[in-house]
Amino acid sequence: MKVILLIAHLMAIATATGMTIANYVNIRIASGEKGDRRAALVYLRRVLGRFADVVVAMIWITGLALWWTLPAEQGVSSWMHMLLFFAVTMTVCHGLARMTAGTMVRTGDTSLYPRMELLVSGVWISQLLAIIFAVLAVHG
């Protein structure tokens, strides 16, 4: 059971990190485009954003389930606390990026592109740090 959960957890993480980089490249390109080309990139981002909500939920569900399988006497290491901290920052940055994207679609305010870029970078850096601390928590 634990192996299946770990496989699902790692699949969700691989999907999330790949999507985050794709989104970052999309934002960088879209900020310099206009008209139909920009509209197509915004549409792609909106679709990927909704898919990302499910992937982030899968990371939390499988991560918490894996945590539940750990023996109680093992306790919670400081690496695990760091992993959880960056899982939270990843989720907060994702939520704020989704809200900012919604505002941009509603108001057409393109001055929010730098904020989007910062938030998506926050998602990606948090994911990389969470991976480092997860490996340290298990093998460190």
Interface residues with ligand HEM (CB under 6 A) are 6, 9, 13, 59-60, 63-64, 66-67, 70, 83-84, 87, 90, 127, 130-131, 134-135, 138-139
Contact yes or no for 90/126 (Cβ under 8 A) = yes
Residue nearest to ligand HEM (CB): 63
Minimum CB separation of residue 58 from ligand HEM in Å reads 10
40 or 64, CB closer to ligand HEM? 64
Concatenating the DSSP letter of every residue in 55-93 gives HHHHHHHHHHHHHHHS-GGG---HHHHHHHHHHHHHHHH
- Both structure tokens of 70: 């750990």
Query: 100 or 126: whose CB is closer to ligand HEM?
Result: 126
